[in-house]
Chain A
Amino acid sequence: MRHTLLVIGSLAVLTALSACSETPQVAGTRIQGTPAYMGAEGSPYTDAGWKAGDATSWEEQMRTRTQSGQNEYVRSGGR
């Protein structure tokens, strides 16, 4: 009798806790995309000033291109 009560009690506890194993309700999965420094494979328009796949090289390319193309104080060599 006592053994039966123990089994029933254990089953009741397991049933009560079953809701705790609910799967997380996360809406969708964020795609991060391919990082730009990986380059555009096969593109004939890729600038020659950097190496595809090298993040440091890409960042340096961005910095150089911004300064040389958009900062006229650098382009004109003075103020």
Chain B
Amino acid sequence: MARMKFICDAERCIECNGCVTACKAEHAVPWGVNRRRVVTLNDGVPGERSISVACMHCSDAPCMAVCPVDCFYRTEEGVVLHDKDTCIGCGYCSYACPFGAPQFPSSGTFGMRGKMDKCTFCAGGPEASGSAAENDKYGRNRLAEGKLPACAEMCATKALLGGDGDVVADIFRTRVTTRNKGSEVWGWGTAYGKPISGGATPKATKS
């Protein structure tokens, strides 16, 4: 089964915020909640780089590990989703997430901190796929329609790639090897961690 992943090509992202707008429009995301946003490193300095960040649907997701009510789950496609009917809006996931993905609407069930909202990889939630209930709580379920996330499909420069991890990694690798650079700022290792060879811990050296 496919393992869905995002990767952003920092050499291509032009900070247009098209992905942010696409996400907002596709899922009617409320004001103040940003499931996706563009982060610029060294803004204003020549050579600045931008990356589009949202939930990375981690294989070993820290949000899942810390949730006290166990509202997170992983789909067969490797997408990390959550059940808003179970969420208590405690915010632990927000502290645990290294990408700042969990968002909390300022109005809702719990007043100032509502039920958590985050990128669903356009895969909806636990309700029936394509149902009105799913659409109201989580937005469109594009994966069940045979489509990919709106942000990646809308990206004008194709900086943001989204899809099966093997395919996406292959596309990104081809780009990097063709232009001989471009994985320094935000590569696969930065996004998902590098494999530890043999599990050996490097020895500490004294200076």
Contacts and interface: CB of A to CB of B under 8 A. Distances in A.
Nearest to A59: B2
Given A40-B130, A42-B130, A33 B75 contact: yes
Interface string B141-182: 101111110001101001001111001100100100010000
B141 A32 contact: no
Given A66-B164, A70-B152, A40 B141 contact: yes
Interface residues of B, number: 40
B160 to A, nearest CB: 9
A47 B146 contact: yes
Interface centre among A27, A41, A46, A70 (most CB of B within 10 A): A70
Interface residues of A, number: 35
Contacts of B77: 35-36
Interface in A12-71: 27-28, 30-36, 38-43, 45-47, 49-50, 55, 58-59, 61-63, 65-67, 69-71
Given A35-B75, A41-B130, A72-B158, A61 B86 contact: no
A66 B70 contact: no
B126 A66 contact: no
B146 A58 contact: yes
Interface string B122-148: 011110111000000000010111111
A38 B161 contact: no
Contacts of B145: 39-40, 43, 45-47
Given A38-B129, A63-B164, A69 B143 contact: no
* Consensus secondary structure, chain A interface: loop
A49 B70 contact: no
B167 A31 contact: no
Nearest to B178: A79
A40 B164 contact: no
B83 interface: yes
A67 B75 contact: no
Of all A-B residue pairs in the complex, the 10 with the closest CB atoms, nearest first, are A40-B130, A66-B163, A28-B70, A47-B146, A36-B143, A40-B144, A43-B130, A46-B145, A40-B129, A30-B73
Given A41-B130, A46-B146, A71-B174, 12 more contacts: A27-B69, A28-B86, A30-B73, A34-B144, A36-B143, A39-B145, A39-B146, A40-B141, A43-B130, A59-B2, A69-B148, A70-B163
Interface of B: 1-2, 69-71, 73-77, 81, 83, 86, 123-126, 128-130, 141, 143-148, 152-153, 155, 158, 161-164, 167-168, 171, 174, 178
10 contacts: A30-B74, A32-B75, A34-B144, A36-B76, A36-B144, A45-B145, A49-B146, A55-B1, A59-B164, A70-B152
